[in-house]
Structure 1
Amino acid sequence: MKYDKVETQNTKIIRFIVDKEYRLLRHAILFLSLLIIIFFSDWLSQYSGAYMYYRMLCVFSALITMFYVNMYVLVPRFFFKGQYIFYIVLLFLLVMIGTIVMSTLLNLYLDPANQHNKENYKASFEGLVILPPFILVTTMIKLFQRWIRDNESIAELKNITLTMELNELRNQINPHFLFNMLNGIKALVRTDQEKAATVIMRLSEFLRYQLYENNEETTLLKSEIDFLTNFLELEKIRRDNLLIAITSNIKSQITNNVFLPPNLFTIFVENAVKHSVNISGYESYIRINIEVKDDALYFECVNSKDQDYEPLLSDKKSGGLGLVNIKRRLELLYGENHTLDIESTKFEYSVKLTIPL
């Protein structure tokens, strides 16, 4: 998904409309403004005493109910989800019901002697015409709040993505990693030329993904799976006692047509590599499973742990920062539509991620 850069001026008015800390004040202003409008309206001036305040309270209650039903039910559940026609129909239905209830209370209970007055029917009809534009003002306010927050989230997402990309270039494509790989290839050329050729091909695919596809906003699911495979296979060359298993139920036509943001899984796999080291000499393992079901992608990464192994302090810091960044990135990309479960036991560490497609 590509976004155009939108600058929003950080003025006090915008912050007042958007920020949660001013929520109570915004609602208080809405209540007060509505009360003032009703109090100084022409139709109310013909009444006096407690009777006037009863009518005022009745109208205020009906209007404020319609405003809040629109702002917190109709707008988020229908308007923001693109169901515009259904939203308009429900809005007019809300106004109609509110007007009928308000007229019934005003005329039948508060003024039964004039309940059949033609002026009352005229006022009800005027209410049906006048109220929708007023209620739509609250829709515009909610839409403006959504627009500002979305643009702020996009800006924050770009900053986090840039930070992650810089960290990945520094941590993944580093001279130490390449030096070890090239030394391993050099030894394989003398002993197993066929295996050396395979390693060179995997290393080239690994570097190609990092240098080119990683810079795109989205990448093919197939490319992401191939990258994880190459990364783990290269790591396996360095560790003879590492068992790797990557399974998937996804057909090739799906992996070649599904796009997702690059490096969503890299941090989890990197942590699995770091923490699966077994200094006791036993075989360690990393198991990855990727599935697509019901328009959702399921990613699971499980690795063994050695309770006697303590990662380097630099690995702990980079891994912790990476997890914080990827959690925030997932939150900005998918909001509440994704789930991330991380569990750590004495001998195993697991990550389960679900994202919509």
Structure 2
Amino acid sequence: MIGSEYKNILFDFLTQSRFKVWRHLVFVSALIPIALSQAFFVLGSAEGITIRTIYLYGLGVAAAMVVFSYFNIFFLTPRLLIKGRYVDYVLLFFLSVYGFVTMKYFVESHIMGVERAVTGIALLDWLSNSTLYGICIASSSATLLFREWIKDSRQIDSLENSQLKNDIEEFKNRINPQLLYSTLSSASVKAKSNPQQTSEILFKLSELLRYQLYDCARERVLLESEIKFIENNLTLRQENSLFRFGYSISAEGDTSLFVAPAVFMPLIDIVLNQKPSHLSIAFKVDARLRLVCTASGTNLRDCNLLKIKQRLQLLNREFELVKTDESITLVLC
């Protein structure tokens, strides 16, 4: 229990915005002793250099480390590392570190009043210092990367939950039991009085069920099959709906392209729920696929399209959705 509380405190300290100032204070406080220890190590044994000079030099190194660290936090990490520009990040990061260490060597030489020769030992010392300061500066972006990882994990979990819920709803809505029952009841009533119409109704019902049971299980279907599914669905609804409505479907362009199954029906369902007197459905295919649903006798301005947007986002489709009083336009890019 106590261990869990400490974990929560550490997690909150690293991620919560209310601890932002404290995180920066802890980070800066950690850099100061590192810089001072380096200053005493390099200048402590040199002759003629006062303690005050060493402290001033150490604080200057600490200030430079803070500047480079915040350059890493606020520029390099968010603009390059998080956006996946890893090569650019590594190049700029190491150029900054090497530039900082080189500048530090020149300042040390000036303070000690000596000119350092470029030897193998000096080069190794330069590389070891670059590694040390590189680790210190790179650690400045750890909390930022941790928060980004938490954010991405939560977003993935949210999308997975939404995907699961949408899959369940889609599975439940593939076969409308009310429509099936109403259609069979209507067919049985008309079987003797109008056998030709009964045969047509049952044929459309069989096509509808075949599409929902088999084609909806595929990742992609032909647009012309999707249009036929919409037509059969509307015909059966027209026969069994509690309110009377008319409809028309038109298609312009090449309908042999592939789309996700039942991708348009949820939008048409939303329009039908407004009980229009007439529904006009127009498909247009050029560089993009456009669906325009125009309804007469109702107002579509108050239609909630949130689920439509979520489903299209889950399908990883770029889309435009425009709503007016009389129509809803869906454009798939």
Instruction: Report the TM-score, using the length of structure 2 for normalisation.
Output: 0.68
Residue equivalent to 1:72: 78
Give distance in 1, aligned partners of 2:156 and 2:263.
17
SS of residue in 2 equivalent to 1:277 = coil
Larger Rg: 2
Counterpart residue number, 1:195: 200
Deviation at 1:25, TM superposition (A): 4.7
Contact kept? 1:38, 1:44, Cα under 8 Å: no
Q: Partners in 2 of 1:89 and 1:158 — Cα distance?
A: 32
- Matched AA of 2:212: L
3-state SS of paired residue (1:346): coil
**In the alignment, which residue of structure 2 is the partner of 1:284?**
279
One-letter amino acid of the structure 1 residue matched with residue 79 of structure 2: V
Amino acid in structure 2 at the alignment position of 1:304: T
2:178 and 2:213 mapped to 1: Cα distance?
A: 18
| In 2, Cα distance between equivalents of 1:324 and 1:331 | 11
Letter in 1 for 2:279: S
Equivalent pairs counted in the alignment come to 304
Partner of 2:293: 303
Question: Which residue of 2 is the match for residue 53 of structure 1?
Answer: 59
Q: In 2, are the aligned partners of 1:55 and 1:106 still within 8 Å (CA)?
A: no
- How far has the Cα of 1:199 moved from its partner? 0.5
Shift of 1:288: 3.4
Q: Distance in 2 between matches of 1:191 and 1:269?
A: 28
CA contact (8 A) 1:341 1:351 kept: yes
Q: Is the 2:223–2:256 contact (alpha carbons within 8 Å) kept by the matching residues of 1?
A: no
After superposition, the C-alpha distances for 1:5-62 in whole angstroms (9 at most, x for unaligned) are: xxxxxx6268537756457357525642553354443325744454543333223212
What is the letter of the counterpart of residue 35 of structure 1? Answer: L
Amino acid at match of 2:273: K
- 2:249 alignment partner AA: I
| Conserved 8 A contact 1:55-1:110 | no
Correspondence list, 1:321-332, <5 A: 323-328=305-310
CA shift digits 1:227-270 (9 cap, x unpaired) = 56413432134437311134564756xx3xx8x6x665443232
| Match in the other structure for 2:127 | 125
Q: Residues 14 and 143 of structure 2 are in contact (CA less than 8 Å); yes or no, is this contact kept in structure 1? A: no
In structure 1, the partner of 2:249 is 244
Code of the aligned partner of 1:274: N
2:93 paired with 1:94: yes
Which residue of 1 is the match for residue 331 of structure 2? 352
Contact 1:99 1:127 in 2 (8 A): no
| 1:288-342 residue CA offsets vs partner (Å, 9 max, x unmatched) | 3467x6xxxx553311123x4379xxxx8xx73xx334434555675xxx65433
Identical amino acids, percent of aligned pairs = 15
Check conservation: 1:206, 1:231, Cα contact below 8 A: no
- Aligned equivalents of 2:58, 2:138: Cα separation in 1: 28
- The unaligned stretches of length 5 or more in structure 1 are 1-10, 80-86, 214-218
- RMSD between aligned alpha carbons? 4.3
Instruction: Considering Cα pairs closer than 8 Å and 6+ residues apart, tell me whether 1 or 2 has the greater RCO.
Output: 1
Q: What does the per-residue CA deviation read over 1:165-184, in whole Å, with 9 as the maximum and x for residues that have no partner? A: 44445556343211233245
Alpha-carbon deviation of 1:113?
6.5
8 Å CA contact 1:74, 1:91 repeated in 2? no
Distance in 2 separating the partners of 1:235 and 1:33: 70
Return the alpha-carbon distance in structure 2 between the equivalents of residues 76 and 179 of structure 1.
Answer: 54
Q: Secondary structure, in 3 states, of the residue corresponding to 1:220?
A: coil
- After superposition, residues 1-357 of structure 1 pair within 5 angstroms as 12=8, 15-16=11-12, 19=15, 21=17, 24-25=20-21, 28=24, 31-43=27-39, 46=43, 47-48=53-54, 50-78=56-84, 87-88=86-87, 90-101=89-100, 103-104=102-103, 107=106, 111=110, 114=113, 116-118=115-117, 123-134=125-136, 137=139, 144-168=146-170, 173-183=175-185, 185-186=187-188, 187=190, 190-192=195-197, 195-196=200-201, 198-209=203-214, 213=217, 219-222=218-221, 226-227=225-226, 229-239=228-238, 241-246=246-251, 249=254, 251=256, 255=258, 265-275=264-274, 277-278=276-277, 283-289=278-284, 298-306=288-296, 308-309=297-298, 320=304, 323-328=305-310, 334=316, 339-354=318-333
* Amino acid paired to 1:349: I
| 1:80-104 residue CA offsets vs partner (Å, 9 max, x unmatched) | xxxxxxx257514531344225533
Superposed CA offset, 1:106-165 (max 9, x none)? 736994774732498665433333344455556766665455444433332333233334
What letter matches 1:24 in structure 2?
A: K
Segments of structure 2 that go 5 or more residues without pairing to the other structure are 1-6, 44-52, 239-244
Q: Secondary structure, in 3 states, of the residue corresponding to 2:325?
A: coil
8 Å contact from structure 1 (residues 229, 246) kept in 2: no
Deviations 1:201-245 (A, max 9, x none): 3222243059x72xxxxx422178735641343213443731113
Q: How far apart in 2 are the matches of 1:23 and 1:232?
A: 59
